A = this chain, B = another copy of it.
Amino acid sequence: MKDIRTKGFERLIRYDKALEETFKYVKKIGTEYISIENATGRVCAEDVISDINLPPFSRAAMDGYAVIAEDTFGASITNPLIFEVIDEMSIGEYKEIVLKRYQAVKIYTGCIMPKNATAVVKFEHTIPIDEKRIQVIKSVPPGKNVSLEGEDIRRGDLIVKKGEIINPYHVATLAGIGRRYLKVYKKPKVAIFSIGNELIEAGQKYIYGKIYDINSFALYSLAKNFGCEAIRKILPDNYDKIKNELINALNYYDIIVTTGATSVGKEDIMPLIVNELGKLLVHGISIRPGEPTGIGLINDKLIFLLPGFPVASIIGFLYIVRPVLEKMLDTCFPKLKIKGKLKRKVASELGRRDFVRVKIYKRNGEYEIEPIRLTGSGIISSLLKADGLLVVEENVEGYEENETVEVELITYNFHY
Give the interface of A toward B (CB within 8 A): 1, 4, 6-7, 35-37, 39-40, 52, 54-57, 61, 63, 88, 90-94, 106, 108-110, 112, 123-124, 131, 147, 151-153, 157, 159, 164-165, 167-181, 196-199, 201-204, 206, 208-218, 220-222, 224-225, 232, 237, 263, 265-267, 308, 310, 314, 332, 334-339, 365, 374, 376, 378-381, 383-384, 386, 410-413, 415-416
- Interface residue from B165, B175, B224, B310 paired with A176 (Cβ < 8 Å): B310
The answer to whether residues A338 and B63 also contact, given A110-B198, A169-B383, A381-B153 and a CB cut-off of 8 A, is: no
Are B177 and A212 in contact (CB-based, < 8 A)?
A: yes
* Chain A interface mostly: loop
- In the complex, are the beta carbons of A336 and B412 less than 8 A apart? yes
User: Could you tell me the distance in whole angstroms from the C-beta of A211 to the nearest C-beta in chain B?
Assistant: 6
CB neighbours of A237 from chain B (8 A):
91
Q: Which of B170, B266, B310, B381 is close to A384, meaning CB atoms less than 8 Å apart?
A: B170
B332 touches A380 (CB 8 A): no
Q: Are B412 and A199 in contact (CB under 8 A)?
A: no
B177 touches A415 (CB 8 A): no
- A132 to chain B: closest residue by CB: B1
B220 touches A37 (CB 8 A): yes
Verify A175–B152 contact, CB threshold 8 A: no
Question: Are B6 and A173 interface neighbours, CB within 8 A?
Answer: no
In angstroms, how far is the closest chain B Cβ from the Cβ of A189? 16
A221 contacts B172, CB within 8 Å?
Answer: yes
Which residue on B lies nearest to A205, using beta carbons? B178
A166 to B394, CA, bound (A): 33
Q: How far is the CB of A288 from chain B (nearest CB, A)?
A: 15
Given contacts A55-B378, A180-B201, A384-B170, A218 and B63 within 8 Å (CB-CB): no
Contact between B199 and A174 (Cβ–Cβ < 8 Å)? no
- Bound-state CA distance A274–B40 (Å) is 31
Cβ–Cβ contact B108 & A266, under 8 A:
yes
CA distance A206 to B336 in the complex (A): 40
A163 vs B112: C-alpha distance when bound (angstroms): 48
Known: A1-B106, A123-B4. A218 touches B159 (CB 8 A): no
A-B contact pairs, 22 of them (CB 8 A): A1-B131, A4-B123, A6-B63, A36-B217, A37-B221, A55-B211, A63-B266, A92-B196, A92-B209, A109-B265, A152-B379, A167-B413, A172-B217, A173-B214, A173-B380, A173-B381, A176-B214, A176-B380, A178-B203, A178-B204, A334-B413, A335-B416
Q: Give A54 Cβ to nearest chain B Cβ, in Å.
A: 7
Residues in B whose Cβ lies below 8 Å from that of A337: 416
What are the residues of chain B within 8 A of A54 when measuring CB–CB?
211, 380-381
Contacts of A214 in B (CB 8 A): 172-173, 175-176
Which listed residue (B7, B110, B310) contacts A172, Cβ 8 A? B310
A57: chain B residues within 8 A (beta carbon):
208-209
- In the complex, what distance in Å separates the CA atom of A284 from the CA atom of B126? 24
Given contacts A172-B310, A384-B169, contact A90 B180 (CB under 8 A): no
Minimum CB distance partner of A414 in chain B? B334
